């Protein structure tokens, strides 16, 4: 597959903005920087940030075992997804495929970018219907979004099903791994070399406890990464974000330990949910949340709000009638949730 053929003509022809920091690299400490019209008085943020986030990228590369050349950062993975649309999808012409019930941003971004959307609902076990997906593809289908583990169902998709989609779909397959660190499945990042049309996204918002700094990660071939680097806003990851991420990622084992705690809390939560009499189904989860089926989702949602507990009502999503999505919290929060669910 020739990735260049999938790019929008305007993107293929684009000359990226060249920032002061792009044009001069190789700074040493005692140099005089008069190239970017910055205020020279030091306060920690008076200089533009590194547009390629080299220090942060090499740290993340070490943590994940992926070469820096296959990594791009976005202002949240939502920015990464938007850049992917803008690279590959021609407005009012191309379309993307999504697999509801799934993460809402794929559709919002399609609408925002004037891109068509073909939806193929997941089956009753929240697994992709591979043949049906491949049958709706047309010559303008540029992106296929696979969210695994899936939000809001929580399950991972069957690996053979994903494999078939990645090998047979003649466009870009985006595997959104926002919850991969909670999963027993392996990341698809290790398969980038096998599939030139594969893009994997991750985020520090969930397992890494950094939703507030807005940092998303994109992994792809060097060919795709260089296109995304060329079209991203030059300074898309601000200095505070880069510094804070480096600071928190440098604390050894913090994420690993918290993930273990969340997983053991999830197990306890699932057990306790079994004795709530109006919960009729607890869906298998590979993420830091649990989807449950109740007798009346709107009623239970409002009762919980009255008790000061905010969860997500997913009842309007395809295949999700009367379901609620519960995020795994601290042991104290989970106890409050369970006690309240039993009392209402």
- By CB under 6 A, name the binding residues for ligand PLP: 76-78, 103, 147, 151, 176, 178, 203, 205-206, 211, 216
Dist. CA 151–CA 340, nearest whole Å: 24
Give the SS3 label for residue 41. Answer: coil
77-88 vs 222-231: helix crossing angle, rounded to 10: 100
Q: Which is nearer to ligand PLP, 7 or 84 (CB)?
A: 84
- Closest separation in Å from C-beta 235 to ligand PLP: 18
Q: Which is nearer to ligand PLP, 72 or 147 (CB)?
A: 147
- Pick 91 or 104: Cβ nearer ligand PLP: 104
Cβ nearer to ligand PLP, comparing 27 with 211: 211
| C-beta separation of 116 from 94 below 8 A | yes
How many CB atoms lie under 10 A from the CB of residue 209? Answer: 15
Instruction: Find the shortest distance in angstroms from Cβ 149 to ligand PLP.
Output: 8
The DSSP letter of residue 50 is: P
d(CA 31, CA 255): 37
CB of 245 to ligand PLP, least distance (A): 12
Nearest to ligand PLP of 93, 111 (CB atom)? 111
Q: What is the DSSP letter of 49?
A: P
Least separation in angstroms between residue 62's CB and ligand PLP is 20
The nearest distance, CB 248 to ligand PLP, in angstroms, is 15
Comparing every residue's Cβ against ligand PLP, the nearest one is 76
Query: Which residues make beta-bridge pairs with 219?
Result: 71, 200
Q: What is the dihedral of CA 71, 75, 80, 85, to 10 degrees?
A: -150
CB 134 within 8 A of CB 165: yes
Closest CB to ligand PLP among 77 and 156? 77
Give CA–CA dist 289/328, Å, rounded: 5
Where do the DSSP E strands lie in 189-315? 198-203, 216-219, 279-282, 289-294, 312-313
CB of 214 vs ligand PLP, minimal distance in Å: 7
Distance CA 215, CA 85 (A): 18
Minimum Å distance from CB 51 to ligand PLP?
A: 19
Give the residue with the Cβ less far from ligand PLP, 174 or 269: 174
**What is the nearest approach in angstroms of ligand PLP to the Cβ of residue 211?**
6
Q: Which is nearer to ligand PLP, 175 or 304 (CB)?
A: 175
Q: How far apart are CA 91 and CA 51, in angstroms?
A: 28
Nearest to 206, CA basis, from 180, 176, 241? 180
């Amino acid at each position: 597959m020739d990735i260049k053929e999938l790019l929008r003509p305007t993107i293929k022809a684009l000359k990226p903005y060249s920032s002061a920091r792009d044009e001069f690299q190789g700074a040493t400490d005692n140099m005089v920087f008069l190239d970017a019209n910055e205020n020279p008085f030091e306060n920690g943020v008076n200089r533009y940030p590194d547009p390629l986030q080299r220090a942060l990228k090499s740290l993340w590369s070490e943590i994940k075992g992926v070469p820096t050349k296959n990594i791009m950062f976005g202002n949240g993975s939502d920015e990464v997804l938007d850049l992917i649309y803008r690279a590959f999808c021609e407005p009012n012409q191309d379309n993307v495929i999504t697999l509801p019930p799934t993460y809402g941003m794929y559709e919002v971004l399609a609408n925002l970018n004037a891109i068509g959307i073909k939806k193929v609902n997941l089956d009753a076990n929240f697994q992709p219907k591979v043949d049906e997906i491949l049958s709706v593809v047309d010559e303008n289908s540029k992106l296929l979004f696979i969210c695994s583990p899936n939000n809001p169902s929580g399950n991972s998709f069957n690996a053979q099903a994903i494999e078939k989609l990645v090998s047979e779909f003649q466009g870009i397959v985006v595997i959104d791994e926002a919850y991969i660190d909670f999963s027993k499945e392996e990341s698809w990042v290790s398969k980038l070399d096998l599939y030139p049309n594969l893009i994997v996204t991750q985020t520090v918002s969930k397992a890494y406890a950094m939703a507030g700094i807005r940092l998303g990660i994109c992994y792809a071939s060097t060919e795709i990464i260089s296109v995304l680097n060329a079209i991203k806003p030059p300074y898309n990851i601000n200095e505070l974000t880069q510094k804070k991420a480096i600071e928190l990622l440098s604390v050894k084992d913090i994420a690993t330990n918290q993930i273990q705690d969340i997983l053991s809390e999830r197990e306890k939560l699932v057990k306790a949910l079994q004795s709530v009499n109006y919960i009729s189904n607890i869906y298998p989860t590979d993420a830091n949340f649990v989807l449950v089926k109740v007798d009346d989702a709107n009623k239970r949602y409002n009762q919980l709000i009255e008790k000061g507990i905010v969860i997500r009502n997913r009842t309007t999503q395809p295949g999700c009638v009367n379901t609620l999505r519960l995020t795994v919290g601290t042991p104290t929060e989970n106890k409050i949730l369970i006690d309240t669910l039993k009392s209402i």
